[in-house]
Amino acid sequence: MPYADLPAAVAAAPPSDSTPLQKLVYVGACAVAGSVLGVPGGLLWLQVADPPSIAMTSTGAYFGEVERNQQVGVTLWFFVVGIVVGLVAGLVVGWFGQRHGLATVAAVLALCAAAAWVSEWMGADVFGPDEQAQLATAHVGSEITLEVELGTRIAYLGWPIGGLLGGLTAIFSWPRQRSFLPSAATSSSVITHRDQ
């Protein structure tokens, strides 16, 4: 009875060789790293975004169509910064998380969630323009730079999207182990011996 040839070896994903506690520590460490990464992320967002400015008039300061378009651009830049920085961070976390298996994906998401929140907070509330302070000292003709803020929460998704792209790229580049199977000749001889 003919038997199909069996492959001598097949590629297998490297098994996770870390304990559950080590996986948890790695995810937590990545969340802390994400909080730190959010600081330069917020600064970068402020550098590339162009928050709208309005002129003070005798009747007050008014927010027009041009300023609304600029505010949309501020939100878009947060999304773009999240994708770019998240992509790089995901590559790093994915590559160094080889021994933790699929927990690496959770680590990437934890880092990106923390970085997204901190970068928005740093950019909008810490380093961003203080609208109230400007209004307190403004006079007719003064330019008031409006506070940096997100027009939609969807912009937060830039970080995890970039992080997952980078993380999965790193995961699929992990070295594979060779899982050896019995050769076709050995299998045939064993089966033939049993038939006799």
Is 9 part of a structural domain of the chain?
Answer: no
In the numeric block, which tokens belong to residue 22?
A: 């080590």
Q: Which domain holds residue 161?
A: 19-175
pLDDT value for 139: 57
pLDDT in tens, 73-106: 889 999 999 999 999 999 999 999 988 988 999 9
What integer pLDDT is reported at residue 54 of this predicted model? 61
- Neighbouring residues of 165: CB distance < 8 A, sequence distance ≥ 6: 83, 86, 87, 90
pLDDT at 184: 44
Q: Are 186 and 6 in contact (CB under 8 A)?
A: no
Burial environment of residue 63 by CB neighbours within 10 A (0 to 12, 13 to 18, 19 or more):
exposed
Per-residue pLDDT tens over the stretch 3-20? 455 444 444 444 567 899
- Asked if residue 12 is part of any domain, the answer here is no
In a domain, 195, yes or no: no
Number of domains in the chain: 1
What six digits make up the tokens of 94? 């994915």
Specify if 37 maps to a domain: yes
Indicate whether 44 belongs to any domain.
Answer: yes
Beta bridge partners of 144: 54
Would you say residue 11 lies in a domain? no
What pLDDT is attached to residue 51? 75
DSSP 177: E
Residues of the chain with pLDDT under 70: 1-16, 52-69, 128-146, 177-196
Task: Please report whether residue 27 resides in a domain.
Answer: yes
pLDDT at 131: 60
pLDDT of residue 149: 79
Q: What is the pTM of this model?
A: 0.72
What pLDDT was estimated at residue 127? Answer: 73
Q: Which of 148, 122, 144 is nearest to 50 (CA)?
A: 148
User: What's the pLDDT at 187?
Assistant: 44
Domain membership flag for residue 52: yes
